[in-house]
């Protein structure tokens, strides 16, 4: 029922905006929590693409929605482990500045 | 243009503008608490877009998992590491920001060009609409059964991993041998371990 009102390209464009904002934030954030938030933004952009393709090109077998559910699962696991790593990092270094985490710098 | 399609168009414009502005604010606002609450708004507008795409189940899962779990987790992390710190200025930060903005704008132009110029096989099959939840259940228990079970194992692993990574205590005896643990390690646990020494010069000069 949505096939006429909104074109598929509109959803893809919105997802592209979201993904690029996430990439820019991932590169430029200095707070480690904000880096995790930007990763979540990028995962949401990918999910939006999957859902748009699932509705417009694969309307009968909604495989894109199943993929989106798996991506949501992996994103939840990633957020939990990422924040745990962040906490133990903060306990060791007493900072959340990404520029100070340079033990592995070559 | 019917009333229903006009309503959909208005909803799409409102939700997508909320999405783009909210995500810009998440990235750009200096206060990270505001960013975390705006992130919830971004997740909610993504869920609204899912509703426009005939996916009520995934929209509910999005609200439950992202707004209810991930965002609350991020807020807790902000509270746990909430220390005012003045970030040292880095030389060339403005140049880095401009360069990465140029790269991201190029990526955006590329993605939009691909989305517009690709000849999509439209119109596709008629969407199942409200039956999508039933189809998802059939998929999860027939042809996607193995990934479904692997997802449960992944969630268990990440839960245990998060507990192990975030716990604080140090064992007084070695787990494997049963001998008393290295006291130096315990002392280091009481003081922050990997802090840079205030004067790194002696470390560097030592052979």
Which of residues A94 and B66 earns the better pLDDT score? B66
Instruction: Report the pLDDT value the prediction gives residue A36, as an integer from 0 to 100.
Output: 92
Instruction: Report the pLDDT value the prediction gives residue A6, as an integer from 0 to 100.
Output: 85
In which band, very low, low, confident or very high, does the pLDDT at B205 lie, cut at 50, 70 and 90? very low
Distance of alpha carbon B27 from alpha carbon B33, whole angstroms: 12
* Residue B20 with chain A: CB contacts under 8 Å: 14, 17-18, 21
Instruction: Report the pLDDT value the prediction gives residue B198, as an integer from 0 to 100.
Output: 54
Answer whether residue B206 shows pLDDT above 60: no
Query: Shortest CB distance from A55 goes to which of B105, B127, B136?
Result: B127
* Residue B70 with chain A: CB contacts under 8 Å: 40, 75-76, 79
Distance of alpha carbon B101 from alpha carbon B27, whole angstroms: 12
Query: Cβ distance B77 to A86 under 8 Å?
Result: yes
* Residue B110, phi then psi, degrees to nearest 5: -60, -45
* Residue B88, phi then psi, degrees to nearest 5: -65, 135
Chain A residue with Cα closest to B37: A37
Instruction: Report the pLDDT value the prediction gives residue B117, as an integer from 0 to 100.
Output: 92
**Range B186-195, long-range pairs (CB < 8 A, 24+ positions):** B192/A91, B192/A92, B192/A93, B192/A94, B193/A92, B194/A92, B194/A93, B194/A103, B195/A92, B195/A93, B195/A94
Distance of alpha carbon B205 from alpha carbon B78, whole angstroms: 39
A vs B, Cβ pairs < 8 A, gives 264
Residue ranges of chain A whose pLDDT lies below 50:
1-3
Query: Cβ distance A40 to B72 under 8 Å?
Result: no
Instruction: Report the pLDDT value the prediction gives residue A94, as an integer from 0 to 100.
Output: 79
Instruction: Report the pLDDT value the prediction gives residue B63, as an integer from 0 to 100.
Output: 94
pLDDT tens across B185-198, in order?
Answer: 655 655 554 555 55
* HSE-CB of B65 using CA atoms within 13 angstroms: 24
Other beta carbons within 10 angstroms of residue B47's beta carbon come to 22
Answer whether residue B14 shows pLDDT above 80: yes
pTM for the predicted model, two decimal places: 0.83
Distances (CA, A) of A42 to A52, B49, B171: 16, 16, 39
Answer whether residue B13 shows pLDDT above 90: yes
CA–CA min distance B18, chain A (Å): 11
Query: Cβ distance B52 to B5 under 8 Å?
Result: no
Token pair, residue A68, equals 């989106």
pLDDT tens across B99-130, in order?
Answer: 999 999 999 999 999 999 988 887 778 888 78
Q: Which of B48, B46, B40 is nearest to B67 (CA)?
A: B40
ipTM associated with this complex: 0.91
Kindly give, in sequence order, each residue whose CB lies less than 8 Å from that of residue B139, ignoring residues fewer than 6 positions away.
Answer: A61, A62, A63, A66
Span B40-48, average pLDDT = 95
Q: Calculate helix-pair angle for A8-28, A32-56, nearest 10 degrees.
A: 170
Answer whether residue B8 shows pLDDT above 70: yes
Span B151-169, average pLDDT = 89
CA–CA min distance B175, chain A (Å): 21
Span B145-151, average pLDDT = 94
Q: Which of B52, B87, B170, B167 is nearest to A48 (CA)?
A: B52
* Residue B66 with chain A: CB contacts under 8 Å: 40, 44, 72, 75
CA–CA min distance A71, chain B (Å): 10
DSSP B65: I
């Amino acid at each position: 029922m949505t096939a006429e009102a909104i074109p598929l390209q509109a959803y893809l464009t919105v997802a592209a905006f979201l993904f690029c904002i996430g990439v820019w934030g991932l590169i430029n954030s200095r707070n480690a929590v904000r880096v995790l938030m930007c990763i979540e933004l990028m995962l949401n952009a990918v999910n939006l693409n999957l859902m748009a393709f699932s509705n417009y090109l694969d309307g009968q077998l909604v495989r894109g929605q199943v993929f989106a559910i798996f991506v949501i699962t992996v994103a939840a696991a990633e957020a939990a482990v990422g924040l745990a790593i962040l906490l133990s990092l903060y306990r060791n270094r007493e900072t959340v500045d990404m520029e100070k985490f340079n033990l592995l710098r070559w | 243009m019917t009333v229903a399609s006009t309503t959909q168009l208005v909803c799409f414009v409102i939700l997508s503008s909320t999405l783009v502005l909210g995500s810009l604010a998440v990235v750009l606002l200096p206060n990270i608490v505001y960013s975390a609450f705006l992130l919830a708004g971004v997740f909610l507008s993504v869920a609204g877009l899912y509703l426009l795409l005939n996916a009520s189940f995934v929209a509910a899962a999005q609200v439950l998992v992202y707004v209810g779990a991930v965002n609350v987790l991020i807020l807790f992390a902000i509270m746990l590491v909430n220390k005012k710190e003045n970030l040292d200025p880095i030389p060339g930060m403005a140049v880095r920001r401009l360069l990465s903005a140029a790269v991201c704008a190029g990526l955006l132009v590329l993605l939009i060009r691909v989305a517009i110029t690709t000849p999509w096989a439209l119109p596709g099959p008629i969407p199942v609409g409200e039956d999508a939840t039933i189809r998802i259940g059939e998929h999860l228990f027939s042809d996607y059964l193995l990934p479904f079970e692997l997802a449960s194992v992944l969630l268990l692993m990440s839960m245990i991993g998060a507990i192990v990574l975030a716990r604080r205590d140090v064992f007084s005896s070695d787990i494997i041998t049963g001998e008393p643990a290295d006291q130096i390690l315990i002392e280091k646990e009481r003081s922050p371990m990997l802090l840079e020494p205030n004067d790194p010069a002696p470390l560097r000069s030592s052979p």
